[in-house]
A and B are shown apart, each in its own frame.
Chain A
Amino acid sequence: MKVSLKWLEQYVDIALSPAELADKLTMAGTEVKGWEVIGGDWENVVVGQILAINPHPNADRLTLPTVDLGTEQQTVVCGAPNLKVGDKVAFARVGARLIDGHSGKAIKLEPAKIRGVASTGMVCSEKELGISDSHQGIMVLAAEAQVGTPLADFMGDVIFDLDVTPNRPDCLSVIGIAREVAALTGQKVRLPDISYDETGAPIERQISIDITAPDLCPRYSASLITGVKIAPSPHWLQQRLLAGGMRPINNVVDVTNFVMLEYGEPLHAFDYNHVKGQKIIVRRAEEGEVLVTLDGAKRPLSPDMLVIADSERAVAVAGVMGGADSEMTGQTTAIVLEAANFNPASIYHTGSRLNLTSEARMRFERGISPELTIPALRRATKLIIELADGKAAKGIVDVYPGKREPEPILLSKGELKRLLGVEFSLEQIKTALISLGFDCQAAKWASEVKAIAPYWRSDISLVEDLIEEVARVIGYDRIPVTMPGGEVPRQNPAPIIGFKQEVRRDLAGYGFYEVITYSLTSLDLMNKLLPQPHPLEPEPLRVLRPMSTEQEYLRPSLRANLLAALEANRRHEEGGIRLFELGRVYVRRPNDLPDEPEMLCGLLAGPRFGESWHGGDEPIDFFDAKGVVEGLLNHLGVEADFKPADDESLNPAKQAAIVVGGKKLGVVGELHHKVAEAFDLSEKAYLFELNLTELLPFTMEHKLFQPISRFPAVVRDIALVVDAGVTHHQVTDIITGFPLVTRVALFDLYTGGKLPAGKKSLAYRITFQSPSKTLTDEAANQVQKKIIDKLSKELGATLRG
C-alpha cells in the first residue's frame, strides 16, 4: 500500500526521517519496501501567481508573463499556451535544478536571453519538476496555494510503499498506519472530526434495510444524503487519491475512496433514485440471477454469493463490485451511502469465482472489524455534505446482527516469559499494549493483565497474539539469544537419508556429475523413451491445470530428463559424459498419495577417458556401465545377479536386470537406437537405473567378521573351451560351489582364431585356501579335477591344450 507522509502527519506527529520511520515500521511487522521523495530537489522553486501576460516583441509563440512571488515580481519568457492571469504556478528561480522539457536531462537553471528578452526564471511544466512526463503546458496549481511558499512545502511529500501482512487489514488504511507509528514512537493519534448536522428528513422514512443472510453480513449501516451536486473533487482530495494510487472520478466517489484509504472501510454509494422500493435487501443471489457490474461485464450469480438488492433486483455484488444500474451519474442528486461488513470467506469465494479483484474485496477478505462501519460512514457523510453541498438525513440505519462483545484476554508475565524467553515487567507490558489502543484492566493476580483489543484489531484472539504485540512494540532486538536447553532429543534418522548421500558421493567419485531436473515433465518427452508408441502404464500423475505441456506430468522415471540433459550437453561437449540424478519418481496409487520411491539413474556416453597422450579414447561400452553398478553395489555390500531383461528403451541384446535377493531392483544396458535417435544422439549411450528405496534393506544386513586364513593359498589357472552360449555366470556358479575355492577371476576371453566356430575360450584364475591347514598340491589338484569334471559334464567344457 502507498502511504503519503503528509497525509500520515495529519493524524500523528512524526519527528523521524523517512529512513528512521521505515526502519521502525519494518522491524515491527509492516515492511517498507521503499519510499519516493516528491520535491526533494525543488530548491529555488516557489509558488507564484500570474499578474499579467504580455506578448513577446520578437516571437509570436512566446509570451512574457509577470509573476508575483510575494517578495518580488518577475517577468520571464514562456512558451506555453495555457497561461491565464490569476493562475497559480510553480516558479523556478535561477539556480533551480530542473529536467529539460525536451531532452529529459537534468539541468541547472541559468539566466538566459530568449529571442532578445532576458529571462531570469521560469514557470514550470510537470515534466520540468519531475512530477510526470507531461510537458503540454504549464502546471497550474490549486487556488489554495500560498504565493511565495516553497513548492516543496505545498506539494512535496514522501510516499512510502508498504507491504501490509494479510493479518492486518487495519493497516490497509492511513489511520491504521498512523496508529502503528504512534505506538512505535510514543505519540498519540488525532482522529478526524466526524460530526455533522443532520438537516434532512429521518432516514427510516426514506429507506429500510433487511439482512436475510446474517451469516454472510454481520453488519450493514447506511446514511442518506440528498441535494448533492456531482462535480470534480477539490485539489487536496484528488492529491490524496493519486498518492494512494487511485484515480479521481467525482466528489462523491472520491470521498468513498478517500475514506476507504483513510479508515480502511470500503464504502459504496448508490443512486437513491435507482434503489427501487426504498429498500435495501442483503441476500443470497438467486439461481440464474445476472448482474451487470460497474466494469460493464455480465456476471452470472449463484446462491452462495451475497448481493445487495433493492425490492426488484440485485444492485451490487456485496463487498466486491457495484452494479451498473445503480451507479451514480452526473445527474445523481440523492445517494445512499453503504458501510457494511461481510464474511471474509464468502467475499473470497465470490471474488475468485467471478475473477474480480478490488480494493474493497482485498479489505473484506482479510477480515476488517464490523465496528468500522459507523465512524467511516460518518466521516464520508460529513465530507460529502461539505464537498457536494448535500443534506444528510436524520440518523443512520444500522443493522448489526453479528455484534459480538470483545473478549478480554488474560496475559501473565510468566506466560510471556515462557514464550519469549525474556521477562518484561507488567508496566512494560501494559505500556506496550496501551500504546496500541488496548484497554488494559487489572486482573485477579498482580502478575497478570486483562487486555481488550481495540475494535480495529480483528486479528487478536489469543494470548500469543498479545505476546507478539508486546514483543514487537518493545522490539524483537530485546529478546536475548540462547540455545535450546533440556535433553537433546533421541536421534533416529531414517536410513534412506544417509544412504542417498553415500550413493551420491560414490557416483561423484566415479566421475559422474549430479544433475537436478524438474519433477514435472511432458508426455512428449516420456514418449521418446518408447521405440513403439503405446499408452504409458501405469498412467503418470497429471497436474490439473498445468502451466504448459512441458510441465504437465509427474515423472514416472528419471530417464527422460537425464537423456534430455545428455542431448543438451552434447551440443557443446565432445568428451565422455557421465551424468546421474538421484530423486523421486511418482507412481499412482488408488485413492491415496502416490508412491514416491527414491531412484538413481546414471548415463554414460562418449570416449572412456578423452584425448590423452596415454590413449584411452575408446568409446564407453556396456561393461563401463555395468562396472559402475558393480562397483557401487560392492561398496554398499550388496551382491547382485545380472539377468536377461526386456526393457523396451534399451537394446534388447545389451541389457541386464539388476537382481538383488531375487528382486529386480534395476536395469543396466545400452540405449535402444530408436530412443537414441529420438533424443538426437548419434552415439551409443549407456544407462543404469536402481530403485534405492528397495535396495536399502539389502545394504543393512548384519555383517559378520570372516577370520583371515593364516595358511598359504594355492593358485591355479584353467583355460576352458565352451559353446558360445555358455555364460560366465554358469561357469563361476559351478566353480564357487566347491569347497576351498575362495576366489575366481576371469582373466581372458577369447573367440575366433584357432577355435572352431561357435566356441569360446574362458580362462580363470582360481584361488584355493583352507582356513585350518596348509593346502597341499595334492588336495588342490583333487578339487580342481572335480571342478573340471563337473564343468565338462554340465557345460560340455573342455580344457584348452
Chain B
Amino acid sequence: MLKQLKELKSSALKELEAVSQAKDLEAWRVRYLGKKSQLTNILRGLAKLPIEERKQVGALANQIKSGLEENLEQKSQLLKQAKIAAVGEGIDITLPGRPFPTGRLHPLTQTVTEICDIFVSMGFQVVEGPEVEWDYYNFEALNITRHHPARDSMATLWVDAESENGQRNMLLRTHTTAVDTRVMEQMPPPIRVVMPGKVYRYEASDVTHVPMFHQIDGLAVDKNITMADLKGTLYEFARRFFGEDRKVRFRCDYFPFVEPGVEMAIECLVCGGTGCRLCGNSGWIEVLGAGMTHPRVLERSGIDPREYTSFAFGMGIDRLPMLRYGIDDIRLLYGSDLRFLRQF
C-alpha cells in the first residue's frame, strides 16, 4: 500500500509538469484529488486497515494529498501569469517597479524618538537645553564643585569664549543632566520632563568611545514623588524598550546630584545573565544612573525640598541601538556610511 502511494505521487507530479492549459489542470485535479480519485479511496478505506498499517498509510496519504494541493496551486499561478504576459496588453508583473528613492532616519534618531514616546505616554514632556553650557549648570548646580572627583571622570571640553566677567567658564556639556536646573528654574512643579541631546567629552575615539554622543535625562518633581515611583517609571520604560521578559536590577550607586543614588542594569542581552565578554562576566549591563534629586540641587533651583521631592535619571543612548542590533563599533553611528545607514 505504501509503495502504491509513492508511485501515485510520482506519476501525479510527472503529469502535472506536462500540463500547459487551465482546462487540463482541472482534469488533473479530478483525477488525482477528486472525490473518485485513488487517493480519496485509500483515505476512505483507512478504517478497514489494521491499526499499525492504518497509522502509516494515513500519514503518508495525507502528506501526499497536501503536497499535491500545494503543487496544484503553484502550477495554477504560473499558468495565470504566463497567460497575462502572453496577451499584448498584459504585463509581466514580476518586472521591477519605477524606482522611488528610499530614505531613512538615523538609528539614533529612531532610538531617541522611541524613548521619548515611552516617557511622553507616562506624562513626561520633551525639553531641550543648550549644548554649550555654563560651568554652573553642568557642574556647580549639580553639587559637582571645582575639586569634585566626578569632574575628572567627565573630561571636559572648554570653549574659548569669555563670559561677562571675563572668565572662561563655558563648556560643551558633559551630560544632559545640565538641563535639570534650567527646567526647575523655569517651570513650576509638578514637573515631568525628559531631556535628550548631544553631550561631549575629551575622549579619543575607539570602538567604545567618541568625543560626542547622545544622552537622555529625566526629571520628576512633585509633592509625593518617591523612589518607588522612580522604580516604577524606570521598570515600565525597561519593559517597553527591552521587552517583557528582560530582568532588571536596581542597585545603590553614587552620583553627586542624587541621594539616594541608583544604578539600573538589565540582564545581559548576549548571555542572558550567565556572563560573557559584553557584560564583563557580570551577567548585567548598566543602562542608567538615577536617584532622588539631591535637596541642595532642588534648593539651588528655587524648589523647597521640604515641600517637594523629586527623582532624576540619565542614560546613554548610543549603547541602546548598539545592543539591539549588535553594532560593535560606536564610530559607525557617526560615520555617515550609507552601507550602515541603509540597515536600520
Contacts and interface: CB of A to CB of B under 8 A. Distances in A.
Contacts of B104: 508, 513-514
Given A421-B229, A468-B260, A520-B212, A493 B99 contact: no
A167 B132 contact: no
B288 interface: no
11 contacts: A479-B231, A480-B231, A485-B224, A520-B212, A544-B168, A561-B336, A568-B337, A569-B338, A572-B339, A588-B161, A614-B98
A479 B228 contact: yes
Interface stretch (A28-36, A45-53, A244-252, A255-263): A28-36
A15 interface: no
A564 B259 CA distance: 45
A345 B103 contact: no
A168 B147 CA distance: 16
Contacts of B309: 418-419
A31 B203 CA distance: 24
B250 A591 contact: no
A482 B231 CA distance: 7
Contact of B103 (A344, A421, A514, A616): A514
B122 interface: yes
Given A569-B338, A576-B101, A593-B130, A612 B295 contact: no
Interface stretch (B48-56, B63-71, B77-85, B106-114): B106-114
B128 to A, nearest CB: 7
A634 B334 CA distance: 31
A166 interface: yes
Given A29-B253, A349-B147, A483-B229, A488 B192 contact: yes
A596 interface: yes
Interface of B: 95-96, 98-106, 108-109, 113, 122-123, 125-128, 130-134, 145-150, 157-164, 168, 170, 172, 189-192, 198, 200, 202-204, 210-212, 220, 222-229, 231-233, 235-236, 249-254, 256, 259-262, 280-282, 292, 294-295, 309, 333-339, 341-342
Nearest to A487: B190
Contacts of B220: 484
Contact of B295 (A464, A517, A518): A464
Interface string A341-377: 0001100110000000000000001100000000000
B227 A511 contact: no
Contact of A593 (B105, B132, B202): B132
A542 interface: yes
A481 to B, nearest CB: 5
Most buried by A among B132, B162, B236: B132
Contacts of B249: 27
Nearest to A165: B254
A419 B226 contact: yes
Interface string A498-527: 000100110111111111111110000000
Nearest to A343: B147
A564 to B, nearest CB: 8
Contacts of B337: 568-569
Contacts of A419: 226-227, 260, 292, 309
Contacts, number: 267
A335 B84 CA distance: 105
Given A483-B233, A545-B202, A551-B211, 14 more contacts: A27-B249, A167-B254, A345-B145, A365-B147, A420-B260, A472-B252, A483-B229, A484-B233, A488-B123, A508-B104, A514-B105, A516-B106, A544-B157, A614-B99
A168 B149 CA distance: 12
A577 B100 CA distance: 13
A414 to B, nearest CB: 12
B254 A29 contact: yes
Contacts of A568: 335-337
Contacts of B280: 33-34
A511 B105 CA distance: 10
A379 B189 CA distance: 53
Given A468-B252, A485-B224, A501-B113, A610 B149 contact: no
Given A515-B341, A516-B106, A493 B126 contact: yes
B260 to A, nearest CB: 3
A547 B106 contact: no
- Those 6 A-B pairs whose CB atoms lie nearest each other, nearest first: A511-B101, A421-B226, A421-B228, A468-B260, A565-B336, A348-B147
A541 B211 contact: no
Contacts of A418: 224, 226, 309
A541 B161 contact: yes
A450 interface: no
B317 to A, nearest CB: 11
Most buried by B among A472, A480, A483, A511: A483
Most buried by A among B99, B104, B113, B292: B99
Interface stretch (A272-280, A578-586, A708-716): A578-586
Given A476-B250, A480-B228, A612-B96, A547 B211 contact: yes
A583 B109 CA distance: 11
Contacts of A26: 251
A543 interface: yes
B225 A484 contact: yes
B253 to A, nearest CB: 6
Given A27-B251, A518-B212, A519-B198, A609 B123 contact: no
Contact of B157 (A462, A477, A489, A543): A543
A491 interface: yes
A514 B256 CA distance: 36
B132 A165 contact: no
Nearest to A584: B131
Contacts of A544: 157-160, 168
Interface in A570-603: 572-573, 576-579, 583-584, 586, 588, 591-594, 596
Most buried by A among B106, B130, B223, B281: B106
A687 interface: no
Most buried by A among B95, B122, B227, B249: B227
A514 B228 contact: no
Nearest to A357: B152
Nearest to B158: A544
Contacts of B101: 510-512, 576, 578, 609
B252 A484 contact: no
B250 A479 contact: yes
A519 B160 contact: no
Contacts of B123: 484, 488-489, 491
A542 B198 contact: no
Given A468-B259, A543-B160, A505 B105 contact: yes
A227 to B, nearest CB: 41
A671 B175 CA distance: 37
A513 B338 CA distance: 8
Nearest to A506: B103
B271 to A, nearest CB: 15
A613 interface: yes
Contacts of B130: 593, 596
A215 interface: no
Contacts of B225: 484
Interface string A11-29: 0000000000000001111
A513 B341 contact: yes
A481 B159 contact: no
Nearest to A616: B99
Given A479-B250, A504-B105, A472 B232 contact: no
Contacts of A464: 259-260, 292, 294-295
B211 A518 contact: yes
Given A27-B251, A513-B103, A481 B235 contact: yes
A492 interface: yes
A218 B339 CA distance: 62
A704 interface: no
Contacts of A167: 254, 256
Nearest to B260: A468
Contact of B229 (A484, A547, A610): A484
B232 A579 contact: no
